[in-house]
């Protein structure tokens, strides 16, 4: 059984929680409490490999002020950064998140296994209200060496699944590139971080 940890991050109203729940349950729920946070768990089979997936969905951070991802950078094997294509402020917040993750690759939080990152422009069903162009999202992804797609959590279930599968394949490929996925003692560190987070866990 391979353990994979993914953090889904984005500004308030970007639809990150809806995206995660859409993948996990097929259901679309439009409204979420922005002050709630939890870790969802799911067992699945990917290319013949059994995966124990944990998805961290944090409470929404303010889109202004100091951005801290210290716990997430230690914990996650991959990140899905979500913005709302009809909200330029959420795109700016996604850019700040990507910068923070990229900064960590050369800083104190650099991990033994490279972190997989996927940038997602959500709410494609609101294309008539678009404030962020597809080419802007694509350029931001290229600049930060991550993958990119636009979709609608409300309308595109299969595209949501396809995006998550790409993320999981990238992460497991990174695992295969190393003889050991984590340095010794990292499991106890992960447990410590989980205790610090104090999140509700939900199995689906």
pLDDT digits 0-9 by tens, 54-99: 999 987 665 555 566 777 888 999 999 999 999 999 999 999 999 9
State residue 202's pLDDT score: 64
Q: What is the pLDDT of residues 3-30, one digit of tens each?
A: 999 999 999 889 999 999 999 998 888 7
State residue 203's pLDDT score: 61
Q: Which helix (H) or strand (E) holds 190?
A: helix 186-197
E-strand ranges in the chain read 2-10, 38-46, 49-57, 78-84, 116-122, 147-150, 200-203
- For the segment 173-201, the average pLDDT, to the nearest whole number, is 59
Single out the residue of 57, 70, 42 nearest to residue 199, CA to CA.
57
> What's the half-sphere exposure (Cβ side, CA atoms, 13 Å) at 72?
27
Alpha-carbon gap, residue 101 to 34, rounded angstroms = 22
Alpha-carbon gap, residue 105 to 117, rounded angstroms = 12
State residue 165's pLDDT score: 96
Q: How many CB atoms neighbour CB 197 within 10 A?
A: 16
Whether residue 131 contacts residue 88, with contact meaning beta carbons closer than 8 Å, is answered with yes
Highest mean pLDDT among 14-18, 137-141, 171-175 belongs to 137-141
- For the segment 159-174, the average pLDDT, to the nearest whole number, is 95
**Helices and strands: H and E segment counts in the chain:** 6, 7
């Amino acid at each position: 059984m391979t353990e994979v940890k993914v953090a889904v991050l984005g500004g308030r109203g970007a639809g990150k929680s809806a995206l995660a729940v859409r993948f996990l349950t097929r259901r679309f729920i439009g409204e979420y409490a922005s002050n709630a946070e939890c870790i969802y768990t799911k067992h699945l089979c990917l290319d013949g490999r059994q995966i124990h997936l944990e998805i961290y969905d944090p409470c929404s951070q303010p889109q202004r002020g100091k951005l801290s991802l210290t716990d997430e950078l230690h914990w996650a094997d991959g990140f899905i950064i979500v913005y709302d294509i009809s909200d330029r402020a959420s795109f700016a917040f996604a850019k700040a998140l990507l910068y923070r993750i990229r900064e960590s690759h050369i800083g104190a939080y650099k991990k033994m296994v490279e972190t997989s990152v996927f940038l997602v422009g959500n709410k494609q069903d609101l294309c008539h209200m678009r404030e962020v162009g597809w080419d802007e999202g694509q350029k931001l992804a290229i600049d930060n060496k991550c993958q990119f797609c636009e979709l609608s959590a409300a309308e595109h279930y299969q595209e949501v699944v396809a995006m998550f599968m790409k993320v999981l394949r990238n992460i497991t490929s990174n695992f295969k590139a190393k003889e050991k996925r984590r340095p010794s003692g990292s499991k106890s560190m992960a447990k410590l971080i989980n205790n610090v987070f104090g999140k509700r866990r939900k199995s689906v």
